[in-house]
């Protein structure tokens, strides 16, 4: 839990753009993978060992905790890199490692690094919490539990004063938003069987997100399904019952999305930040929830459902492939220069037009993901309403841009 006593908002970071977006929009902590030993080894760019000091530096400046995900199945030939990675993480003063394999847990404890237990361990009861309290301070519960079950575990931790290695009470973390897998707490073997590419080694091929036809092998009869995407769950969303999540006693709310774009991280973290703050200010209300939900729909999603938290026994399945987002980004151009005294950014338009009234998105490793409404601009040193391919335009901005930044406009999907 944060020093303010509020539930901790934990953001995904698949690259520096997303990391900065999380920092700019109110995350209390970030989690990320390095190299290949994490559950998003192929879904995101991933950081390198050399990036760890920079990650730590940026997060420390904002008083944001840093969690290294090292939560895949580990084989003997991985042990050397595991130890190297944990040694580097310790040297960079990262806060904790999220682990499932006992080899990772044991070595992290050996070098004095805080351990958080991954959802892949599948913790579903208080006795398992007591066991892992010997090694870890925070535990992510199984994704299949109801809030009633979560609350019972949290209450028992308090009642029995179950503490981790730091001497503090065990903190319970749950998934709050993002992609869900049809498999129990993410342990799936479809990809391994079909492509020899293990989801449990961070190399999922997402078989479950495809359309399938079920055929009776004896008669050849095709079974008609109400929903052809019967293995692809909708995305989890807890924003509309966030008060119940906090009241259950959870201390950390984890947002899924290390494989998603920086604007996704920016929008989702900003929205949940507002909702969490509203809860503690006693202004969390139905009208605000409706507005927040519209914001969440703007970025990548497969439709939303409440997971198993409210007692549902079966999943809700998406009705199509890909995103149901109400908005999308269109590449327009790139950053060229920033004039700090005038707070003006210069861009080269390389693709589509932009015009006054457009919503622009600027992304970059240091810039993060920044949205602005275009109210005025200079085009080739003239004040115009529209800038087209080949034009150079300058826009007044409340933040610095860099030459590597990309300029997009936001349009209806």
The mean pLDDT of 339-365, rounded to a whole number, is 96
With 60 as the cut, is the pLDDT of residue 124 above it? yes
Tell me the pLDDT band of 219, cut-offs 50, 70 and 90.
confident
Mean pLDDT of the chain: 90
**Which region among 52-56, 202-206, 383-387 has the lowest average model confidence (pLDDT)?**
202-206
Tell me the pLDDT band of 317, cut-offs 50, 70 and 90.
confident
What sign does the dihedral 402-404-405-408 (CA atoms) show?
Answer: positive
Find the helix packing angle between 16-24 and 52-61, rounded to 10°.
10
Tell me the pLDDT band of 193, cut-offs 50, 70 and 90.
low
Cα separation values, 286 from 147, 267, 289, 310, Å: 20, 20, 5, 18
With 70 as the cut, is the pLDDT of residue 43 above it? no
pLDDT tens digits, 159-177: 999 999 999 999 999 999 9
Residues in the chain: 413
**For the whole prediction, is pTM greater than 0.85?**
yes
Residues 100-129 as b or e (16 or more Cβ within 10 Å = b): bbebbbebbbeeebbbbbbbbbbbeebebb
pLDDT tens digits, 223-268: 656 666 667 788 999 999 999 999 999 999 999 999 899 999 999 9
pLDDT tens digits, 279-312: 999 999 999 999 999 999 999 999 999 999 998 8
**How many CB atoms are located within 10 Å of the residue 67 CB?**
24
Rounded distance, CA 241 to CA 306, Å? 9
């Amino acid at each position: 839990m944060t020093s303010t006593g509020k539930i901790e908002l934990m953001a995904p970071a698949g690259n520096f753009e997303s990391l900065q977006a999380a920092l700019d929009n109110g995350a209390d902590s970030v989690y990320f993978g390095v190299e290949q030993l994490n559950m998003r080894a192929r879904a995101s760019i991933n950081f390198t060992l050399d990036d760890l000091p920079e990650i730590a530096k940026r997060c420390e400046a904002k008083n944001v905790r840093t969690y290294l995900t090292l939560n895949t199945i580990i084989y003997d030939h991985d042990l050397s890199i595991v130890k190297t990675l944990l040694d580097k993480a310790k040297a960079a003063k990262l806060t904790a490692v999220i682990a499932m394999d006992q080899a990772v847990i044991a070595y992290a404890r050996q070098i004095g690094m805080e351990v958080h237990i991954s959802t892949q361990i599948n913790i579903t009861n208080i006795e398992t919490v007591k066991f892992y309290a010997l090694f870890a301070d925070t535990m992510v519960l199984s994704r299949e539990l109801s809030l009633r079950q979560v609350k019972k575990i949290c209450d028992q931790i308090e009642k029995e004063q179950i503490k981790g290695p730091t001497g503090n009470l065990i903190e319970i973390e749950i998934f709050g938003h993002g992609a869900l897998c049809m498999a129990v707490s993410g342990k799936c073997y479809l990809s391994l069987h079909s492509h020899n590419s293990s989801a449990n080694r961070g190399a999922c091929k997402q078989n479950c997100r495809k359309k399938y036809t079920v055929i009776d092998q004896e008669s050849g009869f095709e079974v008609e399904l109400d929903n052809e995407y019967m293995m692809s769950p909708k995305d989890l969303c807890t924003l509309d019952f966030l008060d119940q999540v906090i009241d259950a006693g959870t201390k950390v709310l984890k947002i899924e999305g290390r494989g998603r774009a920086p604007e996704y991280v920016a929008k989702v973290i900003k929205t949940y930040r507002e909702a969490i703050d509203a809860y503690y200010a006693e202004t969390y209300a139905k009208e605000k929830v409706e507005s927040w939900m519209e914001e969440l729909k703007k970025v990548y999603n497969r439709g939303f459902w409440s997971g198993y938290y409210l007692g549902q026994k079966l999943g809700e399945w998406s009705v199509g492939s890909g995103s149901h987002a109400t908005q999308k980004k269109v590449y327009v151009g790139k950053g060229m220069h920033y004039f700090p005294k005038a707070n003006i950014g210069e861009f080269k338009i390389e693709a589509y037009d932009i015009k006054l009234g457009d919503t622009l998105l600027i992304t970059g490793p240091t810039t993060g993901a920044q949205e602005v409404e275009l109210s005025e601009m200079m085009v080739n040193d003239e004040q115009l309403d529209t800038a087209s391919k080949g034009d150079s335009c300058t826009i007044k901005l409340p933040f610095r841009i860099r030459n590597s930044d990309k300029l997009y406009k936001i349009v209806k999907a």
